[in-house]
Amino acid sequence: SGRRIVVTAGGTEEPIDAVRILANRSSGRQGIALAEAARDRGAEVILIAARVSVPLPEGVTIVRAMSVDALGAALNNALLAAPNGSATTPADALIATAAVSDFRVAGGPSAEKLRRDGEITLRLTPTPDLLAGVAEALGPRATRQTLLVGFSAEASATPRAREKLAKKDLDLIVANDVTAPGIGFESAENAAEIIGADDVVTRVGPAPKRVVADAILDRVAALLAARAS
């Protein structure tokens, strides 16, 4: 209660031409479940939502950000803005569940619809790692005011998650295997390992995404309480 929590949710999309996009299968369910759970615990919640396939929650501040650049700008405004900007007080935690596009079309999208006249080749270039950028801007984990929670959603997620946790200097990372049937993208359920910088691991699920959200918030709340003491 009384905490300020920023959550990102959904899948970003990058334009190919005037009508087509590069996208991913994220529904936004887990991020929205986290925003609702944090709201119900009394937090002030800012939900930065990319493309989602479920209704957005009431009782939270909604910021729409469809592309990687738009999501980065929204994070900057919510977490890094100067005192005369919107981030007048530091967020207590960022929970970054959004599935951010890893690539965009090199050189930018075509201004016109590409014609279907045979094969075409798309040259892709990596997008910025938004969470790594936030972590660098906020400073070392030991001294920054905002807890950073990342997600690692891929096959064999746990080893890769530990790499991301250390490389990005996060407080927590949530690992889930998106190739497992019945959980992950576009599913009402999830199963995850919540891994802390202290190497404490909480396993949850398969369970509804709200249950997973509450398990994540339990870890966030414990870290905030420990910091306050």
Return the active site residues: 24
Query: Token pair for residue 138?
Result: 């906020």
CA distance 180 to 40: 30
Nearest to 144 by CA among 80, 97, 73: 80
The pairing of beta strand 93-96 with beta strand 14-15: unpaired
C-alpha of 91 from chain center:
15
Residues 6+ apart with CB under 8 A from 69: none
Q: Are 54 and 27 in contact (CB under 8 A)?
A: yes
Q: Is 114 exposed, middle or buried (0-12, 13-18, 19+ CB in 10 A)?
A: middle
Q: Are 99 and 90 in contact (CB under 8 A)?
A: no
C-alpha of 86 from chain center:
20
